[in-house]
Structure 1
């Protein structure tokens, strides 16, 4: 585990979102990082498709970045619209 420095404003945004969504601050930050990472890898997917991809990856035991970049393993075509 590492330490990531963020601005006070971002921390406040995380705190508000984590309370609203019943997540810890760390879990909310990790969720936003996952969504952002997937949005950069798959810019053609919308938020709903990215969420479905995250759920599929989690169901299959999680994934490292190297696996997410392997399009033969996680193809956007396999994600329901």
Structure 2
């Protein structure tokens, strides 16, 4: 594990986002890093495409959690 230095302003935004997304500050930063890396490696994909693919790789049944089924 390493240390990544970010600005105080960015840290404040990560902290606020982590509270909204119910993640730790580190988990929120790691999520954004992972999504950013995947987006750069796959510029043809949208954010939704990337999330859907990650859910599929984790065997999440998106039909069971879809808002359309409630």
The aligned counterpart of 1:12 is 12
TM-score normalised to the size of structure 2? 0.78
Q: Name the structure, 1 or 2, with higher relative contact order (CA <8 Å, separation 6+).
A: 1
- RMSD (Å), alpha carbons: 1.2
Paired residue total: 59
Aligned structure 1 segments of 4 or more residues deviating by more than 6 angstroms: none
The aligned counterpart of 2:31 is 31
Unaligned runs of 5+ in 2: 60-70
TM-score normalised to the size of structure 1? 0.68
Unaligned runs of 5+ in 1: 61-81
In structure 1, C-alpha distance between the alignment counterparts of 2:54 and 2:8, rounded to whole Å: 28
In structure 1, C-alpha distance between the alignment counterparts of 2:2 and 2:55, rounded to whole Å: 25
